[in-house]
Structure 1
Amino acid sequence: MKRRIIRRPVFSIIFSACMFALLATGCTRPPTPPAVQVPPAKEAIVMDKAGLAGIHQGKAVDCAACHGKSLEVDDNETIVNAKCRGCHGSLSDVAKKSKGHINPHKSHLGEIGCTACHHGHTASRSYCLGCHAFNMPIPGSGVSASEKKGPVKMDESADSTDIVVVGAGAAGYTAAISAHDAGAKVILLEKQPITGGNSMISAGGMNAAGTRMQQARGLKDSSDVMFKDTMTGSKNIANPELVKVLAEKSSASVDWLTAIGADMSDVGRLAGASSSRAHRPSGGAAVGSHLNLVLRKNATDRKIDVRVNSKVLQVLRDREGRVTGVQVEGKHRGLYVIHAKAVIVAAGGFGANAAMVESYRPEYKGMTTSNQPGATGEGMKFGEAAGAQLIDMKEIQIHPTVAAGSRILITEGVRGNGAILVNQEGKRFVNELTTRDAASAAILKQRDGMAYLIIDEGIRKSLRQIEGYFHLDLVKEGATLKELAGKIGVPDGALEETVAKYNAAFDAKNDSEFKRPDLPRPIRNPKFYAIGVQPGIHYTMGGLKIDTETRVIGKDGKPIPGLFAAGEVTGGVHGANRLGGNSISETITFGLIAGNSAAKVTMEK
């Protein structure tokens, strides 16, 4: 797990994290993975005065100051990050010293490692820039020379555990926690330098029917209605058995999250739902970053072995076809094997893999994506190589409201709380709460394939997430609708006429023009705001075929012994179109099932 560093002046890391959007609280780091001594690479490490290693060399900081006396680095880069905190302070300490509109040390990512952004012998780069276009220079970003990498080393020692979980997003964390609580020993692997996956940037909420939160608000809903909504949204090609599990276990999944410390007290309505069933933190805060912190803390409290910078290359099977473990490439450890009685694949979708998206849907070439950089589809590839059947791979969802010119998703909750969509002529053109595929198609038919979300001060105050869009400079504002129209280039009088017509529909509780089923608020209270949006690649509905116990189904139609999967890496739950709020619901519900199913198998041996 550890690599010996050639004894030259090396990097100390200036404490940093990254910024996607808003504020967050801290969380503890995962436990240190077991260490294995690996011979040093033959290639020398080239120093550059512009890099962090050179900067620290100039300040007479030696290797041991950052790496400890052993000069070893594990894949979590545990010692380096601890030394960095000891020298520069905690993330919150450094955040207090940061200047500028965007504070890279105060983000929804929580307490991540310094080395996610800062590197000693390669160019440092803020992790934020994988999704954002901030002007964010950091020390060591000007390095011109880098470490010369030789062939990947092979560590012939192997680790053993009961269950390996691949992917540390919401599904992976949930599976790992539930398997641990069922008595299994678990190793959770994540290829990125931070945990969270796409779940971390999920915004709208978690769909669940018949919950205590709904009942307290007098909201009528049921698993039967959620089932029907989901099947309708999927164009009736989703697997009804999986959808039934999703709907019937959704309330229990919310209860489980609440029991481990999550705040799911707010309930809103998202597109395609017949009732308000999107559960999220109080005030309508983003659900994904909150759950990531809660799940990360629970894994840490249980001392689950979480390893970042650890990419799974293949699932290993014996001659009878039973899963026996995985082969891993660690950033520092190199190639090694983990023997396991079961493997749970929770490695996410492929929305950030432009070539893979284009291979299934050529018409999406060049389209922006709302996905984080790690969503590249490896789990589907090594799952298929292990004999798994892939289904619904051409079903790729386009989200209607990605901030124009960016990768930042504008949550469906904005429309759910009352926003309207207008085109560049200032006119409404669609029911804002129709399904995502229909809304996206409608926007793409407008001039320049874009539209504007229009809100007022009342809608702004109704949803905490909206403040993040102001923070990221995505919002135009006006004291009057006329002033706002001028700022976004809408013809004089058109926006005022459209909003007046919408407000009349609100008063009458009847949107006769577009049949919007829910009109929660009028747009009357100044100031008025607009956010330019365009459709972008958001979610991949296809993936590994599973059954209701999350067992992965092979090409022969039979479950592959010891192989399970949950989350966006799977297919069958959403069919041709996913409803907003069903992704987090899927990750938690099927993550719980996967953890318990895998633990049951390992306990039987």
Structure 2
Amino acid sequence: MTATLAHTRAHICPASDLQADDHMPVVIVGGGACGLTAALALHRMGVECVVLERDAFAAGSTALSSGFIPAPCTQTQQAQGITDSVEAFAADIQAKAHGQAAPHLVQAYAQNIGPAMDALAEHHGLPWQVLDNFLYPGHSAHRMHAVPEKTGAGLMSRLQAAADAAGVVVLTQAQVTELWADEAQRIQGVGFVRPDGQTERIRCDAVLLACNGFGGATAMVKDLLPEMAEATYAGHVGNDGSAIAWGQQLGARLADLGAYQGHGSWAVPQGALISWALMMEGGVQINAQGQRFHDETQGYSEAAVHVLAQPGGVAWNVFDDALLAFAQGFPDFVAAQGAGAVQHAADANALAQLIGCPPDDLLATLNAVQPGTDPATGRTFQRALQAPFHAIKVTGALFHTQGGLDIDAHTRVLRQDGTPLPNLLAAGGAARGVSGQAVWGYLSGNGLLSAIAGGHIAAHNMQQILKDTP
């Protein structure tokens, strides 16, 4: 599969023409979780860097996420008495991806995410907590970490505060459009556009692309992810495929372009993410005909495709009082509820009227939600739902892509022949992830896993690159 070249201003320029007086050892393109994690790690190693962020403040895709990060063997996990292992986590990643995830990245990320999380806690004060009251789909242990706010925005604000405290230079409103490369494909500098339209340039010794994927590039999504061509895009508009465009111009290899994170629980018309924990704890999705249509516990990513295939491309998340109380422990849910996303029905007939479906069909669907295994979808229920009911109208959405530049275990960008480019690295959404080749390969938290573990790995490798640079 080949990628449509992203329609961005991203281009490669000959280093022999570069005119720039300023120099920085490392330039990081993108100020999300990946970029800031790498910058903080470089700071701890005494390596100077600058983070170039296109927006007015660092947020990116991370701020739009739930902010939950899976990691085994962290100090936080151990403090909560949770038993886990790198091997178990790696096995869970591959099981979800049907064995199609890049083995070298699965191992590298599973090994490095724990140390990365511990370093952020120990050196920069990020107060992790493990969500231990439910298991996200595909995980065999409680390993989902969050900051107290339990939001992606909360995670980003704490990473930004850590960067500020460390004196990390984060230059905002600086959209990188140019990479300057010599004949050996070594990146010698970058150019970025400022708010006044002027382009500034800086020389460097290594570059990390932490600028996410191509979810905001309509033509690329239509070409590479046709099932999502008409889906709501709930990711960051800055995900325009720039990393892929630069890579293609350098002759880099691409991988896993059919992989992405969808979500089958995007509230409409409010435009809010509804936690999939509702489904995992016993909620169901019902279509306009009053029927369930999949096993909701398989995963929220592939649920996006299932929901979009329903009449009108919508479904209703249905749950009861006990689940409502549970969901109100998530700030994102509380915000969605405040925006009017949650509607109420005293009984099955009122719920049918709300959904607009045949009452008898809906009643049969609800009556089938009983302790045991549902023969139609294979889902196992622990209990029945009890009236009164609550419902949220949702659609399927595209959040971020999981394919991109092919990288090795050190996050070095690879050429077509598999050899690494001299000093160009990529991590997070800019590179291939560990979700295999399709939507169903996405294990909960894979996006932030590759961002934080990848940023951590990239920083240590860039330190070595600088040592080896004449």
Question: Percent identity among equivalent residues?
Answer: 29
Partner secondary structure for residue 552 of structure 1: strand
Distance 1:266 1:563, change over 3 A: same
> Separation in 1 of the partners of 2:254 and 2:288?
41
For 2:137, the aligned partner's letter is A
Structure 1 residue 185, shift from structure 2 partner: 0.9
Residues 191-226 of structure 1: per-residue CA shift (max 9 Å, x gap):
122211111111162112344555566655432232
Match of 1:558 among 410, 415, 419: 419
Distance 1:431 1:242, change over 3 A: same
The range that moved more, 339-348 or 570-579, is 570-579
Match of 1:182 among 21, 27, 45: 45
Distance 1:182 1:248, change over 3 A: same
Match of 1:315 among 162, 173, 179: 179
How many residues matched? 444
Distance 1:474 1:197, change over 3 A: same
> Separation in 1 of the partners of 2:147 and 2:39?
23
Structure 1 residue 244, shift from structure 2 partner: 1.3
Contact 1:204 1:270 in 2 (8 A): no
Partner secondary structure for residue 200 of structure 2: strand
Partner secondary structure for residue 442 of structure 1: helix
Residue in structure 2 matched with residue 451 of structure 1 by the alignment: 315
For 1:276, the aligned partner's letter is H
- Higher relative CO (Cα under 8 Å, sequence separation at least 6) belongs to 2
Contact 1:368 1:406 in 2 (8 A): no
Flag the structure with higher strand content. 2
Distance 1:398 1:324, change over 3 A: same
Contact 1:369 1:538 in 2 (8 A): yes
Q: Give unmatched runs, 5+ long, in structure 2.
A: 1-17
> Separation in 2 of the partners of 1:224 and 1:518?
29
Match of 1:390 among 254, 262, 266: 254
Q: Give unmatched runs, 5+ long, in structure 1.
A: 1-154
Residues 274-309 of structure 1: per-residue CA shift (max 9 Å, x gap):
343322245xx5341121011100111122111111
> Separation in 2 of the partners of 1:181 and 1:387?
33
> Separation in 2 of the partners of 1:582 and 1:396?
10
Match of 1:421 among 280, 285, 293: 285
What pairs up with 1:305-384 in 2 under 5 angstroms?
305-332=169-196, 334-384=198-248
For 1:554, the aligned partner's letter is R
Structure 1 residue 332, shift from structure 2 partner: 2.5
Contact 1:325 1:337 in 2 (8 A): yes
Residue in structure 1 matched with residue 3 of structure 2 by the alignment: none
Distance 1:204 1:421, change over 3 A: farther
> Separation in 2 of the partners of 1:434 and 1:204?
20
Residue in structure 2 matched with residue 44 of structure 1 by the alignment: none
Residues 373-430 of structure 1: per-residue CA shift (max 9 Å, x gap):
2111112212332342222223344322222356533332332343221222333222
The range that moved more, 204-213 or 467-476, is 204-213
> Separation in 2 of the partners of 1:518 and 1:500?
12
> Separation in 2 of the partners of 1:378 and 1:293?
25
Partner secondary structure for residue 304 of structure 2: helix
Contact 2:266 2:394 in 1 (8 A): yes
Contact 1:184 1:603 in 2 (8 A): no
Structure 1 residue 515, shift from structure 2 partner: 3.3
> Separation in 2 of the partners of 1:586 and 1:236?
17
Residue in structure 2 matched with residue 262 of structure 1 by the alignment: 126
Contact 1:200 1:288 in 2 (8 A): yes
Structure 1 residue 568, shift from structure 2 partner: 0.6
Residue in structure 1 matched with residue 27 of structure 2 by the alignment: 164
Alignment partner of 1:234 is 2:100: no
> Separation in 1 of the partners of 2:113 and 2:224?
31
> Separation in 2 of the partners of 1:355 and 1:204?
28
Residues 82-129 of structure 1: per-residue CA shift (max 9 Å, x gap):
xxxxxxxxxxxxxxxxxxxxxxxxxxxxxxxxxxxxxxxxxxxxxxxx
Alignment partner of 1:466 is 2:328: no
> Separation in 2 of the partners of 1:572 and 1:396?
9
Alignment partner of 1:483 is 2:350: yes
Alignment partner of 1:298 is 2:162: yes
The alignment's TM-score, normalised by the length of structure 1, stands at: 0.68
Residues 481-503 of structure 1: per-residue CA shift (max 9 Å, x gap):
4433322223325445534442x
Partner secondary structure for residue 214 of structure 2: coil
Q: Which has the larger radius of gyration?
A: 1
Match of 2:107 among 244, 247, 254: 244
What pairs up with 1:199-214 in 2 under 5 angstroms?
199-203=62-66, 205-214=68-77
CA RMSD of aligned residues (A): 2.7
Partner secondary structure for residue 340 of structure 1: strand
Structure 1 residue 536, shift from structure 2 partner: 2.0
For 1:523, the aligned partner's letter is L
Distance 1:482 1:311, change over 3 A: same
Contact 1:395 1:542 in 2 (8 A): yes
Alignment partner of 1:585 is 2:449: yes
Distance 1:418 1:279, change over 3 A: farther
Alignment partner of 1:544 is 2:405: yes
Partner secondary structure for residue 272 of structure 1: coil
Residue in structure 1 matched with residue 61 of structure 2 by the alignment: 198
> Separation in 1 of the partners of 2:85 and 2:421?
34
Residue in structure 2 matched with residue 81 of structure 1 by the alignment: none
Structure 1 residue 240, shift from structure 2 partner: 0.6
> Separation in 1 of the partners of 2:384 and 2:130?
21
Partner secondary structure for residue 416 of structure 2: coil
Distance 1:528 1:263, change over 3 A: farther
Partner secondary structure for residue 561 of structure 1: strand
Distance 1:278 1:522, change over 3 A: farther
> Separation in 1 of the partners of 2:244 and 2:362?
46
Structure 1 residue 431, shift from structure 2 partner: 1.3
> Separation in 1 of the partners of 2:380 and 2:458?
36
Distance 1:287 1:582, change over 3 A: farther
Alignment partner of 1:523 is 2:408: no
Distance 1:217 1:486, change over 3 A: farther
